[in-house]
Amino acid sequence: MVLEAWFMDESSQDQRLPHHLNPKQFVSLDQLAELGVLYWRLNPKNYENDEELQKIREARGYSYMDLLDLCPEKVTNYEEKLKNFYTEHIHADEEIRYCLEGSGYFDVRDESDQWIRIWIKAGDLIVLPAGIYHRFTLDTSNYVKLMRLFVGEPVWTAYNRPQEDHPARKEYIKGLTGQAGVPVEAH
């Protein structure tokens, strides 16, 4: 099963709904990679002893790990927390999330400021680059168990949009234009 991602509609309906465009417009892993979003498919049943996860952690320097259970029963002020997660923001560092159970959506902005919705399910590990505008919400299942990984000590700071002058945002934009290249004029 491969990660599903698609361009979102602009509807203000419940954020936990899929919000597909009509007709649906899916986004490939290559398109996500162009935005700096990385993806691995792992086995969530064996995450304590998963060699592939260990390799990723070692290669990328993810030394800190914790687990987060998100559901109405386990989180005080659940609706309020969900609203906070759903506020568009950036981080100065990568955001690394590994879905162990349940499911949810990470929304990221593409280079033309369109929302792309990424549906993560058990076994999906995604890395959002520092400086990318994003937000998170659960889907209608209202449950997700996530592993959070960090380089060094965890940093929780979210910088809400607009952040065009933030160093991480500037670096991200520079990386995008570097990857996409500059259009060459026809002679």
For 167-184, write each residue's pLDDT tens digit: 999 999 999 876 444 443
Domain count, the chain: 1
Whether 92 shows a pLDDT value over 90: the answer reads: yes
Task: Answer whether residue 187 is part of any domain.
Answer: no
- pLDDT at position 178 is 65
Task: Answer whether residue 2 is part of any domain.
Answer: no
Instruction: Please calculate the CA angle 106-112-115 and round it to the nearest 5 degrees.
Output: 25
Percent of the chain at pLDDT > 70 equals 94
Q: Which domain holds residue 57?
A: 26-176
Task: Answer whether residue 163 is part of any domain.
Answer: yes
Burial 63-87 (b: 16+ CB within 10 A, else e): eeeeeeebeeeeeeeeeeebeebbe
Averaged over 11-17, what is the pLDDT? 93
pTM to 2 decimal places:
0.91
What is the maximum alpha-carbon separation in the chain? Answer: 64
